Structure 1
Amino acid sequence: MVIGINKVILIGYIGNDPKIRYLPSGNTVCNISIATKNRWKTPNGQRQERTDWHSVVIFNKLSEIVQQYVKKGSLLYIEGYLKTKKWQSSDGKNRYSTDIIANEIQILIFKETNTPEPTPVKINNNEKYKLNNINTNYDDFDDEITF
């Protein structure tokens, strides 16, 4: 029997300050948007860029930590899974949207200083790790990959 894999990994900038809502169960939930950029060169060598926005849902203690430490413009690493929801619009048509349900978040760059911080950055079951610098200079990568 084949089991499917549903795993998402994103690194991107948060587009809104996190706001917590309380569910009827008393649990907390936080919705954020993450922007990722894709860069490539056209066959004639012209550079192109596209920004994609991703809807991320964060629950419980993780949502509370995100609200406390993350601001609009922070760079985040997010691990989670995709979940598609279905609803009917006011005109009776079925609508769908897909969210990323986060189960691990690392704060890579805090907005206030715009530099990597050696403070707690990996947020998962209250674990804390030191931050490693990441290379965000896309010009350092080869544009052609041969197999």
Structure 2
Amino acid sequence: MQNIVILAGNLGADPESRTTQGGTNITSIRLATSRPRYKDGKIVRDEQGRRVQDTEWHRITCFNGLGKTVQEHCTSGMKLLVRGRIHYTKWTDQQGNDRYGCEIIAETVDFLSRGKPAQKDEGYTGNYNDLDDDIPF
């Protein structure tokens, strides 16, 4: 049996990164996925005739090199495809209550829309949107 998750959605905020005392880079993102709402087997529509969507938010954790890539290239609103596994956690809060959480541990992240532009190199004054136009084939 395998624990496999595949999610395609929009990044809800810019990635947040931290480094553990042991040197592990951890990057966290929030991904929104949507699906149409159904009632009596039919898609629910609003007053303007548009489909009503139910949105779910997923906590995604990326480690080390993958986390660094996500931090460098992703920004709020981007479309991403995340492949990974579900990870459940349990902890005790300050009041002694058991708390539970669920996150997705990312194994791969594919960019379905353009990411942030690369950092500007010293001395380059051209347009970063067309850097590959001059590559001969």
- Normalised by the size of structure 2, how large is the TM-score? 0.74
Give 1:75-114 correspondences, 5 Å limit. Answer: 75-110=79-114
Task: Give 3-state SS (helix, strand or coil) of 1:51's partner.
Answer: strand
Please tell me the residue identity of whatever aligns with 2:31. Answer: I
- 1:53 is the counterpart of 2:51: no
Shift of 1:42: 2.3
For the pair shown, the structure with the greater C-alpha radius of gyration is: 2
- 1:9 is the counterpart of 2:13: no
> Deviation per CA, 1:122-146, whole angstroms, max 9, x where unpaired?
xxxxxxxxxxxxxxxxxxxxxxxxx
> Deviation per CA, 1:78-97, whole angstroms, max 9, x where unpaired?
00001111111122110010
Task: Give 3-state SS (helix, strand or coil) of 1:67's partner.
Answer: helix
**C-alpha contact 2:36 2:44 (8 A) present in aligned 1:** no
- 1:33 is the counterpart of 2:30: yes
Shift of 1:45: 5.3
Return the alpha-carbon distance in structure 2 between the equivalents of residues 33 and 97 of structure 1. 14
Return the alpha-carbon distance in structure 2 between the equivalents of residues 61 and 75 of structure 1. 20
- Normalised by the size of structure 1, how large is the TM-score? 0.69
User: Which structure has the higher relative contact order (CA within 8 Å, separation 6+)?
Assistant: 2
Q: Which residue in the other structure is 1:68 paired with? A: 72
Return the alpha-carbon distance in structure 2 between the equivalents of residues 79 and 45 of structure 1. 28
Moved more, 103-112 or 14-23: 103-112
Task: Give 3-state SS (helix, strand or coil) of 1:63's partner.
Answer: helix
Q: Please give the root-mean-square deviation of Cα atoms over the aligned residues, in Å.
A: 2.0
Identify if the C-alpha distance between structure 1 residues 112 and 61 changes in structure 2 by more than 3 Å, giving closer, same or farther.
closer
**C-alpha contact 1:73 1:111 (8 A) present in aligned 2:** no
* Count of aligned pairs: 111
Task: Give 3-state SS (helix, strand or coil) of 2:112's partner.
Answer: strand
Shift of 1:46: 2.8
> Deviation per CA, 1:28-82, whole angstroms, max 9, x where unpaired?
0001100000114423653332100000000000000011110000000000001
Which 5+ residue runs of structure 1 have no aligned equivalent? 114-147
